[in-house]
């Protein structure tokens, strides 16, 4: 569920529930659940909750990215609004466990990062109504080995902008366009839970170029990453640590 509350002094008041994922599952995995406010819309990433086949079903919110107005209502131009049986809130589908979302600073496109299974973590560029393939295609494999789906490509299924082998355990993402750090203009920063680092990928037009790995020597799981109002990069890490990069 996504709720909105108003900050009044030191209290949160006036709770309004904007979205509840359907159906309800008790499995405690693959929640996804990043939020992005952009251009008057609220984007919500929803994991497959361990029910991988439902990522391909438009009748559920599992394995989807949701697009709402900021007040929680459904935009009339969402791609499946008029499709019988489909959830009208769905913007894209075929996702496994998306933990990162950000708006491209130049072209406005919405990018997400998502966990693959054993390998195959991805960065995807979203476009309304597109199918990103899980579990029909993936660059990962079953835990312990074994093919998933039909391989890495399929007709009508979108390819990731970049993928990792082995998995980095992709957390949140952020674009950096400032001038505080030499030679970082412009970059995508990807938090890494499994390989315990930040991956900085140089922007190359609308795509990505060279990757540089940061903070791996700390051996801390990096969960979230944000650019602060001071232009510095902040990261949340394991062991209850807030890191500031100077």
When pLDDT is cut at 50, 70 and 90, the band that residue 26 belongs to is confident
- The DSSP call for residue 104 is -
SS3 category, 3: strand
C-alpha span between 195 and 165 (Å, rounded): 11
Q: The pTM is what?
A: 0.95
Write out the two tokens for 49.
């909750």
Quick: pLDDT tens for 203-221: 998 899 999 999 999 999 9
C-alpha span between 139 and 83 (Å, rounded): 30
Catalytic site residues? 30
Q: What percent of the chain stands above pLDDT 70?
A: 100
Burial of 62 (0-12, 13-18, 19+ CB in 10 A): buried
pLDDT at 87: 98
- Give the chain's radius of gyration (CA, Å): 18
Quick: pLDDT tens for 34-46: 999 999 999 999 9
Quick: pLDDT tens for 173-205: 999 999 999 899 999 999 999 988 999 999 998
Quick: pLDDT tens for 152-179: 999 999 999 999 999 999 999 999 999 9
SS3 category, 52: helix
pLDDT at 29: 85
The alpha carbon dihedral of 212, 210, 231, 107 has a sign of negative
Tally of CA atoms within 13 A in the half-sphere of 76 that contains its CB: 0
The residues near 207 (Cβ < 8 Å, ≥ 6 apart) are 161
Mean pLDDT (whole number) for 137-162? 96
């Amino acid at each position: 569920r996504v709720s909105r509350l108003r900050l009044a002094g030191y209290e949160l008041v006036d709770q309004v529930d904007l979205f509840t994922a359907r159906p309800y599952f008790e499995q405690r995995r693959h929640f996804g659940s990043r939020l992005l406010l952009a251009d008057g819309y609220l984007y919500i990433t929803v994991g497959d909750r361990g029910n991988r086949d439902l990522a391909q079903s438009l009748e559920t919110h599992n394995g989807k990215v949701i697009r709402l107005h900021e007040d929680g209502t459904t935009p009339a131009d969402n791609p499946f609004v008029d499709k019988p049986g489909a959830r009208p809130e769905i913007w894209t589908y075929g996702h496994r466990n998306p933990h990162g979302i950000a708006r491209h600073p130049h072209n406005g496109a919405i990018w997400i990062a998502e966990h693959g299974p054993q390998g195959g973590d991805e960065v995807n560029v979203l476009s309304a109504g597109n199918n990103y393939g899980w579990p029909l295609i993936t660059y990962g494999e079953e835990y312990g080995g074994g093919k998933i789906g039909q391989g890495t490509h399929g007709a009508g299924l979108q390819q990731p902008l970049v993928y990792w082998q082995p998995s980095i355990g992709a957390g949140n993402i952020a674009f950096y366009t400032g001038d505080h750090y030499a030679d970082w203009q412009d970059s995508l920063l990807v938090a890494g839970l499994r390989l315990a680092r930040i991956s900085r990928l140089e922007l190359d037009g609308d795509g990505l170029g060279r990757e540089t790995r940061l903070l791996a020597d700390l051996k801390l799981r990096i969960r979230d990453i944000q650019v602060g109002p001071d232009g510095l990069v902040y990261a949340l890490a394991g062991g209850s640590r807030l890191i500031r990069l100077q």
